[in-house]
Amino acid sequence: MSPIAEQAVAPPGRSDLLGWLTSTDHKRIGTLYVITSLGFFLVAGALAVVMRTQLARPNSTLVSPHAFNQLFTLHGTAMIFLVVAPFAVGLANFLIPLQIGAPDMAFPRLNATSYWMFLFGGLTVFLGALTSEGAADSGWTAYAPLSEIKISTGLGQDMWIVGVFLVSVATILTAINFITTTFIYRAPGMTMWRIPIFAWEMVATSLLIFMAFPSLAAALLLLFVDRHLGGHAFDPSYGGNAVLWQHLFWFFGHPEVYVLILPYFGVVSEIIPVFSRKPIFGYTGLVIAAFAIAGLSMGVWAHHMFTTGAVDDPFFSFLSFMIAVPTGVKFFNWIGTMWRGSISLATPMLFCVGFLMNFLLGGVTGVMIASPPIDFHAEDSYFIVAHMHYVLGGGSLFAIFAALFFWWPKMFGVKLDERLGKLCFWLLFVGFNVTFFPMHLLGIEGMPRRVFTYPDVGSFPLLNSLATAGSYVMLAGVVAFAWNVVVSTRKRDPVGPDPWEANSLEWWTSSPPPEHNFDDLPPIRSARPVFDAHHPEIAKGGAG
């Protein structure tokens, strides 16, 4: 039995509002993060569909330039800060204590505080849209001097600063919880080399958060001082430096994109073995690769600044190329897991295969733009938009759906409908590629990003219309998912502890788990304790 004393209080019911507001249970908090991030996803996705509709035809006047600039600012800010990262945080919140056999996180109240700060921070960013001059409109990157008070005069930019700052602090606090919990609260026998890959990826992610977010916080504070307290950090007419913003922002911004992908490397590392009926291939290599990626990612930030002529291009280009190596190692490990396995293409696995296919292209274009001569043409064009969406959309988003379909039974006690799931996958996969593949060509042809319209030249109209059509197909896929949730919730097919025949500890306990997580624990002698318990003839056990 768990050695840690607890108060005997019943968990909140679904309609117990006060219970949800005051819960410090990692599973409740994780669920709140997941639901909230999905809510922001719907909003940010809707903004994208509006943008794509505006861009379907050249010289369209559907959306004004000012409105369009707010749309892509909110879309980027929300997707990065309020969807992809918080979903991973929520998943990790739910899973990490379960996967390592702990009863909760190390700091439950801090954990809850992080969630509410994230929620209020996110709402603050959007609240800017209600001000007289509208929401922030200088991009999610808020380059100074564009974001300075002289040019971005509205309150929306300030609310963006406050909201993102709140979310940043929340994220740092969460990282503290993850690292402490994983290092200290593991169950007997759960050595660090037996924790799931997902847990390892979250350790690497948390380390990245510590190292990167303070730089963003500093940049935001300086921007605020510039805007309201007479500062001139980024204002060259007073001796400030516009390039400084870029250094501070990207020192955070690049590790941030690895914060946005490492958890999802962990997700596919959990799901692929289950649906291949084999252990994850190259566990040690995956762990070392995760930290190699994290470490290298701290040294590449100025590859976002190649075209400034202000940075040492070869230094950053070299390290950027190097990151391809551990990433490749991971890819080969995932293929090695599937190799000679017994593969079932259930919906979670479909999304993982989609992830692999999509992320590969994103990775390849990433290596291309790590070469400054290529970046001289591609930077700030739709080639970059294509690259980032292939890794964030084709990668992280697909992994989000894989995670939803895989862990939904564990979180909510019902399985999502499999046929609707497959429909959702195909709509998203086809829609995603039709939307974003043409953007490579648009970029090469010369279409810059963050433009509310474009001239009627070359293939611009055709490729843009194609991209817009793809976005509507993606919308259909999201609707299919929402419908799936409704249908499955109504059907309420109950689920046992281990519907997928999986490997890690969360599949030992009931679906959903009791508040204290475990009534008992199996012996933990490998990285697959639940598999070992069900397959004693194969278990490594004392012989392994």
Partner 1 sequence: MHGQMWPSPATAQASVLANDWLLFGTAGLAVAVIVWGLILFSVFRWRRKGQTEGPLPPQFDSNNPLEIAWTAIPLLIVLALFVYTYRAEADVERLAPKPDVIVDVNAYQWNWTFAYQGGPTVQGSFADPPQLVLPLGETVRIVLTSSDVDHAFWVPDFLFKRDAIPGHPTSFDLNPSKLGTYLGRCAEFCGFDHALMDFSVRVVSSSDFNRWRSAHHT
Partner 2 sequence: MVALRLFISSAVFSSVIATAYWIFSKEPTGTFLLGVMSFGLLFVAGYTIVAEREADLVGDRPEARPVDAAGELVGTYSIRSPLPVWTALAVSCVGLGIVVSPAVAALGVVAMLIAGVLFILQSR
- 245-284 binders of partner 1 (CB under 8 A): 276-284
* Under 8 Å between Cβ of 59 and 453: yes
Does the protein bind partner 2 through residue 302 (CB under 8 A)?
Answer: yes
Q: Could you say which of 24, 344, 465, 510 contacts partner 1 (CB under 8 A)?
A: 344
CB of residue 12 to partner 1, shortest distance in Å: 34
Q: Could you say which of 376, 486, 492, 496 contacts partner 1 (CB under 8 A)?
A: 376
CB of residue 103 to partner 2, shortest distance in Å: 8
* C-alpha–C-alpha distance, residues 249 and 254, integer Å: 9
Between residue 13 and residue 52, which ones bind partner 2 under the rule CB under 8 A? 19, 21-25
Does the protein bind partner 1 through residue 451 (CB under 8 A)?
Answer: yes
Build a one-symbol-per-residue string for 193-222: x at contacts with partner 1 by CB under 8 A, - elsewhere: ------------------------------
CA 269-185-167 angle, to 5 degrees, is: 70
Does the protein bind partner 2 through residue 509 (CB under 8 A)?
Answer: no
C-alpha closest to that of 442 among 387, 376, 381: 381
Closer residue to partner 2 (CB): 11 or 58: 11
What are the φ/ψ torsions at residue 234 (nearest 5 degrees)?
A: -110, 10
Q: Could you say which of 5, 340, 419, 490 contacts partner 2 (CB under 8 A)?
A: 5
Between residue 280 and residue 299, which ones bind partner 2 under the rule CB under 8 A? 291, 295, 298-299
* C-alpha–C-alpha distance, residues 329 and 324, integer Å: 9
Which of partner 1, partner 2, none sits in contact with 357, Cβ below 5 to 8 A by type? partner 1
Which of partner 1, partner 2, none sits in contact with 462, Cβ below 5 to 8 A by type? none
CB of residue 125 to partner 2, shortest distance in Å: 11
* C-alpha–C-alpha distance, residues 474 and 541, integer Å: 46
CA 418-419-423 angle, to 5 degrees, is: 115
Number of residues that bind partner 2 (CB under 8 A): 76
Which of partner 2, partner 1, none sits in contact with 348, Cβ below 5 to 8 A by type? none
| Contacts of 61 by beta carbon, 8 Å cutoff, 6+ apart | none
Q: Could you say which of 41, 165, 452, 518 contacts partner 1 (CB under 8 A)?
A: 452
Beta bridge pairs of residue 156:
135
Does the protein bind partner 2 through residue 100 (CB under 8 A)?
Answer: yes
CB of residue 143 to partner 1, shortest distance in Å: 5
Q: Could you say which of 112, 268, 434, 466 contacts partner 2 (CB under 8 A)?
A: 112
The amino acid that residue 199 corresponds to is A
Q: Could you say which of 207, 329, 391, 397 contacts partner 1 (CB under 8 A)?
A: 329
* Under 8 Å between Cβ of 98 and 513: yes
* Under 8 Å between Cβ of 321 and 365: no
Does the protein bind partner 2 through residue 233 (CB under 8 A)?
Answer: no
Binding part of the chain for partner 2, among 307-315, 382-390, 462-470, 486-494 by CB under 8 A, reads: 307-315
Closer residue to partner 1 (CB): 70 or 111: 70
Does the protein bind partner 1 through residue 149 (CB under 8 A)?
Answer: no
Q: Which two three-digit tokens encode residue 353? A: 């295969």
- Backbone angle region of 59, left / alpha / beta, with phi > 0 → left and psi within -120 to 50 → alpha: left
CB of residue 237 to partner 1, shortest distance in Å: 7
* C-alpha–C-alpha distance, residues 346 and 300, integer Å: 37
C-alpha closest to that of 243 among 143, 112, 351: 143
Binding part of the chain for partner 2, among 112-120, 143-151, 341-349, 430-438 by CB under 8 A, reads: 112-120
Place of tokens 């997700």: 267
* Under 8 Å between Cβ of 78 and 44: yes
* Under 8 Å between Cβ of 527 and 196: yes
Where are any strands of DSSP class E within 179-283? none
For every residue of 373-413, DSSP letters joined together read HHHHHHTTBHHHHHHHHHHIIIIIIHHHHHHHHHHHHHHHS
CB of residue 310 to partner 2, shortest distance in Å: 9
C-alpha closest to that of 111 among 31, 220, 42, 184: 31
Q: Could you say which of 103, 128, 240, 438 contacts partner 1 (CB under 8 A)?
A: 240
Between residue 127 and residue 186, which ones bind partner 2 under the rule CB under 8 A? 155, 158-159, 161-163, 165-166, 169, 183-186
Does the protein bind partner 1 through residue 535 (CB under 8 A)?
Answer: yes
CB of residue 21 to partner 2, shortest distance in Å: 5
Binding part of the chain for partner 2, among 2-10, 373-381, 467-475, 480-488 by CB under 8 A, reads: 2-10
Binding part of the chain for partner 2, among 341-349, 433-441, 470-478, 521-529 by CB under 8 A, reads: 521-529
Which of partner 1, partner 2, none sits in contact with 367, Cβ below 5 to 8 A by type? partner 1
Place of tokens 């194969």: 538
Number of residues that bind partner 1 (CB under 8 A): 91
Closer residue to partner 1 (CB): 183 or 339: 339
Q: Could you say which of 24, 60, 180, 241 contacts partner 1 (CB under 8 A)?
A: 241
Closer residue to partner 1 (CB): 97 or 156: 156
* C-alpha–C-alpha distance, residues 424 and 475, integer Å: 10
* Under 8 Å between Cβ of 131 and 141: no
* Alpha-carbon distances, residue 242 vs 145, 235, 239, 251 (angstroms): 6, 6, 10, 15
- Work out the number of other CB atoms within 10 angstroms of the CB of residue 145: 18
Distance of CA 474 to the CA centre of its chain: 18
Does the protein bind partner 1 through residue 357 (CB under 8 A)?
Answer: yes
